Amino acid sequence: MRFAVANSDKLSIDHYVQFVNYAFASVAQALTAYLKSIPSSPPALAIAITNGAPTLSAELERTLIATRIKSDVTPRVTIVDPLDALSLALPDLGPHDIERIGGENADVGAPKAVISVGNALGVATASQANGAWAAFHGHAGNISFAPQTQEELDILKRIRGNTDYVSVEHLLSAPGLSHLYELLLEISGQIARSIPATEIVDAAGEGDTIAADALNHFTTWLGRFASDVALIYDARGGIYLWGPILRRMESVLRHDHFRAAFVAKGKRLPWLEGIPAFLIRSEDAILRGAAMALSRQRG
| Numbers of helices and strands, H then E, in the chain | 12, 10
Which pLDDT does position 299 carry in this prediction?
59
Q: For residues 52-82, b (16+ Cβ closer than 10 Å) or e, as one string?
A: beeebeeeebbebbeeebeeeeebebbbbbb
The rounded distance, in Å, linking the Cα atoms of 175 and 44 is 35
SS3 247: helix
Residue 173 · residue 221 · CB < 8 Å: no
Q: Distance between CA atoms of 272 and 227, rounded to whole angstroms?
A: 7
Task: Give dist(CA 253, CA 192) in Å, integer.
Answer: 26
What's the pLDDT score for residue 122? 94
pLDDT of residue 48: 60
Which among 259, 261, 258, 271 has a CA at the least distance from the CA of 231?
A: 271
pLDDT at 245 exceeding the cut of 90: yes
Q: Which residue has the higher pLDDT, 27 or 60?
A: 27
User: 64-115, pLDDT tens digit by residue?
Assistant: 555 555 455 455 666 778 888 899 999 999 999 999 999 988 998 999 999 9
Let me know: does 213 contact 169? Beta carbons within 8 Å. no
Domains of the chain: 2-81+285-298 (no CATH), 98-281 (3.40.367.20)
